[in-house]
Amino acid sequence: MIYSDLYIGQKRKIPTLIGVLLILFIVGFFLTLTNKSALPSRASKSNLKRIEVANLNPIQVSIYWQSQDKETGWIAYGEKENKLTGIALDDRDVAEKKSTYFNHYVTLKNLKPGQQYFYAVITAEQKVVKPDGSYFDFKTPLSSSAKTKLNPANGKVLQPNLSPLANAVVIINVDENTAPISTLTKDTGEWLIPLNSFYDKKSQEEKTFSGKEQATIEILSEDGQISTVINNLNNLSSNTETIIIGKNYNFLQGDSVLSASTGFNGGRVGQVEVIYPQEGALIPGRRPLIKGMSLPSAKVSITINSAKTYSAVVTADKGGNWSYLIPDNLELGLHTITIKTKDGQGTEKLLVRKFTIVANEGPDAKVLGTASGSPTLTVAPSPTTPVYNNPTVAPTVKPPVSGIIDILPIIGGLSLIIVGGGVLLVF
């Protein structure tokens, strides 16, 4: 035996077979990780009913989608399709606590002007993409000059039991080529949307509206109820309207529209009619302003039958317009108005209208239908379900290769380090 062997001592080695097996196991483990996405990727028609981009802006957009079932959800996005490094939670969520929704609403902030972005909807179980396996996408406008000079649209939404409806999604559409604008209702049921910036969906060019354009408001609650409101853009900002979720309202329908001046445009001079309230109307206020048409300068007898009877005689103006403000707050429930006046042939005309007071005391106990000629609140007789022309998703698609974040370089580096260490141990 050589002296140096006794002094240095013999090295202990891991058996070659065990070392090789260990290396193969580690390499196989990391290769398995690299072949998996962060989440399963598939487009599921059963999980995604509707999706669209709203509130186009050079540095910010909102994304709304509706899922088949209540579930958590957020958005993964990025400037490159294979690197969705940005994460945006639902506007109602915090990082530590995510709630389940049917109607999801996410705002992406701090974006770049004129930049194309790719995104996927992330649920608790999967990543939802387009039917062809690619990501959803949008492009931000280059600039904003707020060409449309209108006051903000606003309103208030009540539940059928008259309590405020919070966290409902409100979407305003002007036409099929214009990107929608949207928001969420507050805890008070109130909502407000600026009417300054509108963009073309395809070109991202800013559009200008005069306010005379017809707009449709959709309000979607978490329990599946939907209301639609039809009005001109100008009238959306003229005064706050209170609606009850589940009912549809059309402020441009025939006689239910009042002009923006002190007169009415709902009837012809000499025609005897009640403009407000309409038959069967639900009035979210305590003191409605009764309005109508008759002969110019004619006497109009008004009687309101409720717990307390109110009677008055008013004189129409030269245009045949007349109005009567009830002096007291009416109680909740059904009320009847009886109108008596004479027509052009001198025959006495008798008109009867029934309406229901539905508002509670408080902010809603205000004068509705003020003398400025604000639009009346009437229930549309034949509500229809809107038709959506939005991206659809379908099953059986090829999932994207990558996950939310590209981690292949990191995993590959770690694999090489571990393999190298194993080789040193064996040899």
Kindly state the DSSP code that residue 289 receives in the 8-state scheme.
Answer: E
**β-pair type (348-357, 281-283):** parallel
Q: How distant is the alpha carbon of residue 65 from its chain centre?
A: 9
Q: Which fold has domain 267-374?
A: Immunoglobulin-like (2.60.40)
| Closest C-alpha to 172, from 146, 135, 209 | 209
Q: For 219-257, give the DSSP string.
A: EE-TTS-EEEEEEEHHHHTTS-EEEETT--EETTSGGG-
Q: For 117-154, give the DSSP string.
A: EEEEEEESS-EE--TTSPPEEEE--S-------EEEEE
Beta-carbon count within 10 A of 310 CB: 17
Q: How distant is the alpha carbon of residue 7 from its chain centre?
A: 81
Span 284-303, average pLDDT: 84
**Rounded Cα gap, residues 199 and 59, in angstroms:** 14
**What does the block give as tokens for 21?**
């097996």
**Rounded Cα gap, residues 43 and 63, in angstroms:** 17
Indicate the residue type of 5: D
Model confidence band, residue 63 (pLDDT cutoffs 50, 70, 90): very high
Alpha carbon distances (Å) from 31 to 24, 128, 399, 416: 10, 25, 18, 11
Share of the chain above pLDDT 70, in %: 67
Kindly state the DSSP code that residue 12 receives in the 8-state scheme.
Answer: P
The residue with greater pLDDT, 131 or 120, is 120
The residue with greater pLDDT, 379 or 218, is 218
Q: What's the mean per-residue pLDDT of the chain?
A: 75
Using one digit for the tens of pLDDT, what is the confidence trace for 411-427? 555 555 565 555 555 55
Return the pLDDT at 308.
83
Length of the chain: 427
Using one digit for the tens of pLDDT, what is the confidence trace for 176-194? 999 999 999 999 999 999 9
Alpha carbon distances (Å) from 108 to 74, 88, 90, 93, 118: 11, 6, 10, 14, 12
Return the pLDDT at 36.
42
Return the pLDDT at 413.
55
Using one digit for the tens of pLDDT, what is the confidence trace for 7-48? 444 555 556 666 667 666 665 655 454 444 445 555 444 468
Q: For 333-373, give the DSSP string.
A: EEEEEEEEEE-TTS-EEEEEEEEEE-PPSSTT-SEES-TTT
Q: At residue 78, does pLDDT exceed 90?
A: yes
Q: At residue 265, does pLDDT exceed 90?
A: no
Q: At residue 393, does pLDDT exceed 70?
A: no
Span 97-108, average pLDDT: 94
Contact 139, 114 (CB under 8 A): yes
**Rounded Cα gap, residues 158 and 99, in angstroms:** 22
**What does the block give as tokens for 292?**
């109508």
**Rounded Cα gap, residues 351 and 302, in angstroms:** 10
| Closest C-alpha to 337, from 321, 318, 324, 320 | 324
Return the pLDDT at 396.
32
Highest mean pLDDT among 54-58, 125-129, 349-353, 401-405: 54-58
Q: At residue 157, does pLDDT exceed 90?
A: yes
Q: Which residue, chain included where needed, has tokens 């999604």?
A: 169
**For the chain, domain boundaries:** 10-35+408-426, 267-374
Return the pLDDT at 374.
33
Indicate the residue type of 290: I
Span 116-140, average pLDDT: 90
| Closest C-alpha to 216, from 386, 53, 19, 14 | 386
Using one digit for the tens of pLDDT, what is the confidence trace for 280-291? 777 766 777 788
Span 378-403, average pLDDT: 38
Burial class (CB in 10 A: 0-12, 13-18, 19+), 210: exposed
Q: Which residue, chain included where needed, has tokens 């929608």?
A: 180
Return the pLDDT at 206.
93
Return the pLDDT at 74.
94
Q: At residue 238, does pLDDT exceed 50?
A: yes
Model confidence band, residue 260 (pLDDT cutoffs 50, 70, 90): very low
